[in-house]
Each structure stands twice: as C-alpha cells, then as structure tokens.
Amino acid sequence: MPSVEYYGGFFMEKQDYDEIEQLIGYEFDNRLLLQQAFTRKSYTNETHDGDNNEVLEFIGDKVLDLIVVKALSEYHGEVNNRDEFACDLNEGKLTELKKRLVESKMLAYRIDELGFARHLIMGKGDKKNNAQDDMHVKEDLFEAILGAVAIDSDWDMTAMQDAVEFMLDLDYYLENGFDGGDNYVALVQQWCQKENGELPQYSFQDTDEYKVNRMLRPYTIMGQRDTIENEESEGAITCKIYIDDGNPFVGFGYSKSEARMAAAEKAYQYLDEEGMLFTMADEIGEPTLENAISQLQELAQKGYYSLPVYDFEEKHDRQGNPYWRCECSVKEYQYSYWTEKGTKKEAKRKAAYDMLMSILNADGDDNDWDDGEDDE
C-alpha cells in the first residue's frame, strides 16, 4: 500500500510530494503549505476545511516578477569598470522578454510540462467544468507554488530563485530564446517516465566537494557504465542525475538549473549514442486513421515538431453536393498533404493520417502499416 500523508481530510501520496519537490528544486519543511498551493477556493468553500491558494498566488506573482527581473539583469547586464550598470538590452526589450516569461500562456505551458494540474484539489463545480484544463487556473497554481516556497523558506532568495529556475526552466529560455534548441531536462524526464514510470533522480553539491569526493571515492558501480561527466567543469554547483540503477551523469553550472541542464545533456547524449531513445512510433503505438488527428497532435505536444496546421475549403461537385478539401502541414516538413472527403471531419482525419505516415517514414520507422484507405 502506498505511503500517504493525511492533511485536513485530504489524502496525498507521499510519492506525489516527493515528485513535486524534485521538479521544483525545493524540499518543504511544512508540506501543508505545498498542499495549500494546490487547493482551489472552490474546495474550501464547499468543505470549510483549511485555506486555499489565493493569497499564496498573490505572493508568488511578486516572487516570480522579482526573480525573472533579477535573472534578466544578471544575464544581460553587469557593473562596468566605471561602476555603472550596463545592459546589452534596452528597457523595452527587457520588458518584452519579461512579459513573455511570466505571461499566462507560458506559466500554463510549464504546469503542463511538469504535470502538476492533475494534483489540484477542487470543489465539485471545478471538477464538473474541468477547471484543471483552464489556462488561468494553471497560472494561479504556478504562482501559488512559488508563494508556498517563499513562506516555507522564510523568503530565502536562493530557495525562491531555485524554484523559479526549475519550474520555469529559466536558464534554458535565457540561453536559447523561445524557439531554441533541445531542452535536455524535459527530454530525459520524458524518457525516464516512459522507460521506468518515474522521474530521474537529481542530487546537488558544491563542485569543490564533489571533486574531492570523486578522487577519494569514485562514483562507480562495478559492471556498470562509468560515471559520465560534462567536459566543461566550470561552475560552483554540481548536479548528478540518475536515470537508472547505474552510475550518474554529472554536470556543472553556476546555478542548480544550469548544472541540471548540463547533466541532462550528457544523459541524453548517452541514450542517443546507445540507441536507447524512443522513436515517434514508440510514443504513439500503431498509427491509425481513426486516431490520426490526436496522434499527430500528441507528437507535437511532446516537442517533436510544431503543431499541425489545417486549411479547409468547402467545394461542390457538378450536382451541387458539398464536400470538403483539407490540407495538413507541419512547419518542419517540406511537404503538406491534402484530401477531399464528403465531410469536414473525414477530410481532416485523412489529411492528418497522410501527414503522420509521412513523418513516421521520415523518422526512419520501417513498420509495414496499412495505408488506412480500407478504414474509410
């Protein structure tokens, strides 16, 4: 039977707390605050049991603004030799970047990536309306968690900064922008969840301490691969990431977030070199005409390519009967696919299927699947 902690009439599995704390880079002294961050007003209104997350959300909103402005100023500026603060971006550009980092769409996207909305504690009305899918509800949750970290840590700047960097993946967006390269932390987490059913484990320590321990007591498990380190050993913080029972992958950085990204990159490179990465076909199973729209969407949401675009045109045959033309395209692929069917839904489904099959073939999958025509 799973270990659970019982708070105010609500059960939460201990492993849920552990997983959330891993993903936000902070361990709570008072887990009641973490639970409160997930508690909607609709629940406390119905049960009159405990407090909700509204005030924590207010606090977290201010924490988020502070840490993001601090990160932007440190990344793009410095005090020069005249003891003046110089920045390579003007106020307008900084404002634009800050807005994109803290806007509702971004915070909701990150909550989806972290998988936190499923833990929301809601009243019957929220459940009936699927409030967990609402963008602003996810935004509120993101901010409430930061508010809980601020209160639990007694406003410790390092704790708040770590939480923002982990939850927002701040270092990744500072380095790569909003249309940047691979997010290795997310990719490795996805691999571990699919392969092991759980997240990778992270541990952090000072780099000097790590190097001393490495010389005195090498991190080696006999019969396993060697511990793999990032070649760039700069940074005061060391992160070890464990993706299985073997030796860890090690990265270094000037923040926990940066060190974690470096370690995840080494893990991902190892999985790639060993041929252990999942293909797109592994992600969705056998492609089918019936499920093609959702399967194409699922791969886009997992970061393999941009969201598919559908263009529709209503047409008529010589007898005046209507039919639909649908064209499906994906930005990263040269060819689009179109079809004409009697209904809009049928046209979209077949265009999505043809696009999906083309993508899977381009990915190198050699399965001999049916072309779907017999399913019409």
Hey, what's the torsion of the CAs at 181, 184, 190, 194, to 10 degrees?
Answer: 120
51 flagged as catalytic: no
Tell me which of 143, 162, 171, 354 is the catalytic residue. 143
If 0-12 CB within 10 Å is exposed, 13-18 middle and 19+ buried, where does residue 34 land?
Answer: buried
Alpha carbons 239 and 161: distance in angstroms, whole number: 17
Residue pair 64/141 in contact (Cβ under 8 Å)? The answer is no
- CA 148 to CA 170: how far, in whole Å? 19
Identify whether the C-beta of residue 36 lies closer than 8 Å to the C-beta of residue 150.
Answer: no
Long-range contacts of 61-64 (CB under 8 A, 24+ apart): 61/143, 61/147, 63/143, 63/146, 63/147, 63/149, 63/150, 63/160, 63/164, 64/102, 64/142, 64/143, 64/146, 64/164, 64/168
Report the SS3 class of residue 278.
coil
Question: Is residue 61 among the annotated active site residues?
Answer: yes
Find all residues with CB under 8 Å of 276, minimum gap 6, and list them: 191, 270
| Position 48, amino acid | H
352 within 8 A of 308, measured Cβ to Cβ: yes
Name the active-site residue from 61, 165, 169, 171: 61
What token pair was written down for 376? Answer: 């019409």
The full length of the chain comes to 376
User: Could you list the active site residues?
Assistant: 61, 143
